[in-house]
Amino acid sequence: MILAQYINGNTKVTIHDDGTKVREYEGIPKPIHPESCDVKISNRCDGKCHFCSEMSNPQGKHADLNKLLEVLDPLPAGVELAFGFNTGHPDLITFLQSVKQKGWIANTTINERHIHNNIELIQFLIKNDLVKGIGISYSSNDYISEIKSLSSMTNNIVFHLIMGINTLQDIDCLYEVCQDQGKDCKILVLGYKNYGNGSNYLLEHKEEIENNKYLWYTRLVSLFSLIGMTFSFDNLAIDQLNLKRYFTNKAWDKFYMGGDGKWTCYIDAVKQEFAVSSTSTNRVSFNNVDLLSYFGNISEISTNKIAK
């Protein structure tokens, strides 16, 4: 079933209720607004993940979500917003109700260790259709019962795994859990970020991480054909896995959704800054530019890079 459809410059975008997105265009696509924004709404987190690239902490600040709504206002219905759940922003529900009213699609990612303490809130968000896609950062099978509880409510759970930190056995485990529930197993593979705490962790565990990454590099592809499995990748993982080698040129053109900044942008609502992605050091304040102007600029740069 079609969930949303809109025209973005010379591109027609259709989003289905299972998350499938189809983009149709002639010639070179020229989007005028982002199709999705990665939005940071809080810097507070008690997860203390030793590989965290965000440097979030228990004393971190929350974003002003009214200001964020002003910034997002020009975006049409159907645009996706992805935000981290962390330990929860106090204005989260009100914000998500506004997002739903505007017709934007809210997706969130939560660390599995935060599910237990927030399960009622997450269930409320799913039941009231305030979020569609739910990413779960998976690190061990200690929280399988919580994961199953959420998975029974929606088909749109995506497990976030980091190559080099998670293992291929984690995929086997999650596949089994999903098969038991009669669900598709959806995995998002994230590249290893050598920033923030991630760089220290890499220094201390270099050999272990590199050996693990090598297994991902050589063996992951053998899991692609598992029935009921969906794999997606961020740009860093695509680069680190040299994923293009596994695609025919035609398939690559069809499935590659573009580099960071071509169709997407990052919004740090805590610091009130725009960037190409969360890892970009080049940031621009909300006070200096509006979202569409900022996006127009980075998208054009991204197009020119491809042309060159």
Find the binding residues for other proteins in span 3-22 (CB under 8 A). 18-22
Helix (H, G, I), strand (E, B) or coil at 46: coil
- Residues 281-300, one symbol each (x = binds other proteins by CB under 8 A, - = not), give --------------------
| 187 vs 287 by CB, closer to other proteins | 187
Integer Cα distance of 16 and 225 in angstroms: 23
Cβ atoms 43, 56 nearer than 8 A: yes
| 139 vs 156 by CB, closer to other proteins | 156
Task: State the residue for tokens 């805590």.
Answer: 270
| 17 vs 70 by CB, closer to other proteins | 17
Footprint of other proteins on 137-196 (CB under 8 A): 156, 158, 160, 184, 186, 188, 190, 193
Footprint of other proteins on 72-91 (CB under 8 A): 80, 82-84
Cβ atoms 177, 148 nearer than 8 A: yes
Pick the stretch among 119-127, 174-182, 210-218, 289-297 that binds other proteins (CB under 8 A). 210-218
Could you say which of 93, 121, 144, 257 contacts other proteins (CB under 8 A)?
257
Footprint of other proteins on 112-131 (CB under 8 A): none
Cα radius of gyration (the chain): 19
Integer Cα distance of 141 and 174 in angstroms: 9
Hey, how many other C-beta atoms are within 10 angstroms of the C-beta on 183?
16
- Residues 213-252, one symbol each (x = binds other proteins by CB under 8 A, - = not), give -x--xxx-xx-xxxxxxxxxxxxx-x---xx-xxxx-xxx
Cβ atoms 236, 189 nearer than 8 A: no
Cα–chain-centroid distance for residue 154?
Answer: 17
Pick the stretch among 64-72, 163-171, 275-283, 298-306 that binds other proteins (CB under 8 A). 275-283
Footprint of other proteins on 17-56 (CB under 8 A): 18-26, 29, 36, 38-40, 53-54
Integer Cα distance of 67 and 285 in angstroms: 13
| 240 vs 286 by CB, closer to other proteins | 240
Binding footprint of other proteins, residue count (CB under 8 A)? 78
Helix (H, G, I), strand (E, B) or coil at 110: strand
Q: Which residues have a Cβ under 8 Å from the Cβ of 294 and sit 6 or more positions away?
A: 265, 274, 284
| 231 vs 295 by CB, closer to other proteins | 231
